[in-house]
């Protein structure tokens, strides 16, 4: 889709993928977030606890497992924030699939990282201009108001804030002996900024 990205060095391609990996954990639920935005408040506590606990069940080091109540006490605040401050606000926008794809590509071609070359920064900046122009055209043709474009772009700030919280969550995971693959932890700990 973006021929100029083929000219990037393998190290830059790898860095873009590693940088996107954490954000992908945040972005994937966006495809279902309009449902979450409407239904999240209707989920009963038991179902909510089941979702949170099942995410961590079996991930602890042997002999260092947390009970369901301990798990909720430690990890529920992260999930509460994720649903209320990330998923729900983006879900309320009811973005079309095309708008979501634009967001994903804008997140992928983030030029604000320090672990990419200056050539990659420039390439990402140029690709983002194309994506923004196409997004604006799509929304104009769909008779969306001008604020729709601004609101859609604001999702990038929400995702960036959540990325920092996800990185903080991994520190808590280490503290509570949640097993995480070494390669994945290396990605989490990589200097990006």
Listing DSSP states for 113-143 in one string gives -SSS-HHHHHHHHHHHHHHHHHHHHHHHHTT
User: How many domains in the chain?
Assistant: 1
The domain that contains 95 carries what CATH number?
A: 1.10.565.10
Distance CA 99, CA 95 (A): 6
Mean pLDDT over residues 38-56, rounded? Answer: 71
Number of CB atoms found within 10 A of residue 87's CB: 24
CB 110 within 8 A of CB 150: no
User: Confidence class of residue 41 from pLDDT cuts 50, 70 and 90?
Assistant: low
Name the average pLDDT for the chain: 88
- The Cα–Cα gap between 32 and 29 comes to 5
Q: Does 9 score more than 90 pLDDT?
A: yes
pLDDT for 47 beyond 80? no
- Overall average pLDDT of the 26-47 stretch: 65
In whole angstroms, give the CA distance from residue 147 to residue 102: 16
Chain-centroid distance of CA 4 in Å reads 24
Cα–Cα distance measured from residue 104 to residue 16, given in angstroms and rounded to the nearest whole number: 13
What's the confidence (pLDDT) of residue 131?
97
DSSP state of 190: S
* 22 — pLDDT class (breaks 50, 70, 90): confident
In a domain, 125, yes or no: yes
The fraction of the chain above a pLDDT of 90, given in percent, is 48
Structure tokens at 5: 């990205």
Q: Is the residue at 2 inside a domain?
A: no
| The pLDDT value given to residue 146 | 84
Task: Taking residues 14-33, report their average pLDDT.
Answer: 84
Residue 62 maps to a domain: yes
In a domain, 5, yes or no: no
- Tell me, yes or no, whether 6 lies in a domain: no
Which residue segment(s) compose the domain that 64 sits in?
A: 13-189
Residue 7 counted as domain residue: no
Q: What is the DSSP letter of 60?
A: B
Q: Is residue 156 part of a domain?
A: yes
Q: Which of 35-49, 87-101, 116-130 has the lowest mean pLDDT?
A: 35-49
Give tens-digit pLDDT for 128-181. 999 999 999 999 999 898 899 999 999 999 999 999 998 889 889 999 999 988
Residue 81 lies in a domain: yes
């Amino acid at each position: 889709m973006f021929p100029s990205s083929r000219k990037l060095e393998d190290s830059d391609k790898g860095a873009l993928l590693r940088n996107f990996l954490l954000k992908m954990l945040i972005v994937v639920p966006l495809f279902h977030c309009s449902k979450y935005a409407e239904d999240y408040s209707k989920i009963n506590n038991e179902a909510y606890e089941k979702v949170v606990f099942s995410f961590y069940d079996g991930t602890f080091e042997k002999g260092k497992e947390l009970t369901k109540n301990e798990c909720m006490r430690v990890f529920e605040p992260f999930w509460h924030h994720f649903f209320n401050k990330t998923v729900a606000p983006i879900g309320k926008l009811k973005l079309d699939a095309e708008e979501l794809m634009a967001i994903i590509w804008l997140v992928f071609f983030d030029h604000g990282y320090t672990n990419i070359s200056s050539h990659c920064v420039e390439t990402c900046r140029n690709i983002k201009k194309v994506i923004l122009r196409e997004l604006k055209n799509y929304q104009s043709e769909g008779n969306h108001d001008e604020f729709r474009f601004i609101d859609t772009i604001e999702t990038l700030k929400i995702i960036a804030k959540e990325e920092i919280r996800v990185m903080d969550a991994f520190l808590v995971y280490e503290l509570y002996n949640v097993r995480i693959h070494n390669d994945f932890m290396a990605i989490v700990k990589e200097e990006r900024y």
